[in-house]
C-alpha cells in the first residue's frame, strides 16, 4: 500500500440565493462572503450604465446591447434576463473555470435566472438553490418602506411583485424564513457544508477509497 497521504479534490458548486425584494438576500449574501473564503460572488454582464463608484469587471461586466446579444447568440451566457429595460446575464467561462478549480460561486439572481440554470444540462448538477422568505408580509412591507423610502404606489408595486416572486419557492432545493439574519446565515452555511460533501462532487474519491482498501 502507498504510505503517502492520499487526497481527492472537489468540484465547485453554484449557490443561488433568491428572494423577493426586502427579504434580506443581499444582507445574507454579504455575510456569507465575509465568512467563507471559498465562496466568491458571480459577476454578471449588464447593459445598464455604470454607476459612480462601480468598477468594470468587479461589480459588473458593462457591455452594450449589441455585445450582449452576441454573447447570447454565441452561447457565452449561462442565464440572462431583461430587468426594467436593462439586460443582465451570467458569463459562462468564469463560472465553469471556477467550478473546475473547486471554487464555489454565489449567485444573486431571480427565479427566472434560476430556472434557466436548472434547465441547463451543463449546470444542473452544480446548482444549489435557496429561496429566502420574509417572516410575514407586514415585516416585508416594513423593510421595503424603511430601505427605499419610496412613494406609496411604488411600495405597493414592489409588494405585488414580491407576492408573485414568492409563488416560485417550490422550484428551489431549500427554503429559509429570514426572521433573524445570523440564524439565516448559519442555515445557509449548513446547507453549504452538506452540499460540499456530496459524493458526486468529489473527484478522485473512488481511487482514494480503493487505496484505503489495499492491504498493507
- The pLDDT tens digits of the residues spanning 45-87 come to 999 999 999 999 999 999 999 999 999 999 999 999 887 789 9
pTM: 0.85
Give the pLDDT of residue 147: 63
Looking at every residue in the chain, the average pLDDT score rounds to: 89
Q: Where are the domains of the chain?
A: 9-42+102-213
Q: What fold characterizes domain 9-42+102-213? A: Rossmann fold (3.40.50)
| Statement: residue 2 has pLDDT above 70 | no
Number of other residues whose CB lies within 10 A of the CB of residue 185: 22
Mind giving me the DSSP string for the chain? ---SPP--EE---EEEEE--TTSSHHHHHHHHHHH-TTEEEPPPEE-SPPPTT--BTTTBEE--HHHHHHHHHTT-EEEEEEETTEEEEEEHHHHHHHHHTT-EEEEE--HHHHHHHHH-TTTGGGEEEEEEE-S-HHHHHHHHHHHH---HHHHHHHHHHHHHHHTTGGGSSEEEE-SSHHHHHHHHHHHHHHHHT-GGGEETHHHHHHHHHS--
| Statement: residue 178 has pLDDT above 90 | yes
Give the pLDDT of residue 187: 98
Residue 191 or 6, more confident? 191
| Statement: residue 148 has pLDDT above 60 | no
Amino acid at each position: 500500500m502507498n504510505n503517502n497521504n492520499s487526497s481527492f479534490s472537489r468540484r465547485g458548486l453554484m449557490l443561488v440565493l433568491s428572494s423577493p425584494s426586502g427579504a434580506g438576500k443581499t444582507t445574507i449574501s454579504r455575510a456569507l462572503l465575509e465568512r467563507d473564503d471559498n465562496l466568491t460572488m458571480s459577476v454578471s454582464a449588464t447593459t445598464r450604465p455604470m454607476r459612480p463608484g462601480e468598477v468594470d469587471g468587479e461589480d459588473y461586466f458593462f457591455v452594450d446591447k449589441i455585445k450582449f446579444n452576441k454573447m447570447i447568440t454565441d452561447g457565452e451566457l449561462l442565464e440572462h434576463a431583461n430587468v426594467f429595460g436593462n439586460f443582465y446575464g451570467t458569463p459562462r467561462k468564469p463560472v465553469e473555470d471556477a467550478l473546475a478549480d473547486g471554487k464555489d460561486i454565489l449567485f444573486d439572481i431571480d427565479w427566472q435566472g434560476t430556472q434557466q440554470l436548472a434547465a441547463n444540462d451543463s449546470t444542473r448538477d452544480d446548482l444549489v438553490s435557496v429561496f429566502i422568505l420574509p417572516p410575514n408580509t407586514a415585516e416585508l412591507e416594513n423593510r421595503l418602506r424603511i430601505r427605499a423610502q419610496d412613494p406609496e404606489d411604488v411600495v405597493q408595486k414592489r409588494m405585488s411583485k414580491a407576492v408573485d416572486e414568492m409563488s416560485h419557492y417550490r422550484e428551489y432545493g431549500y427554503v429559509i424564513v429570514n426572521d433573524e439574519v445570523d440564524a439565516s446565515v448559519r442555515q445557509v452555511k449548513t446547507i453549504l457544508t452538506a452540499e460540499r460533501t456530496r459524493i458526486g462532487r468529489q473527484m478522485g474519491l473512488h481511487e482514494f477509497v480503493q487505496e484505503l482498501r489495499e492491504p498493507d
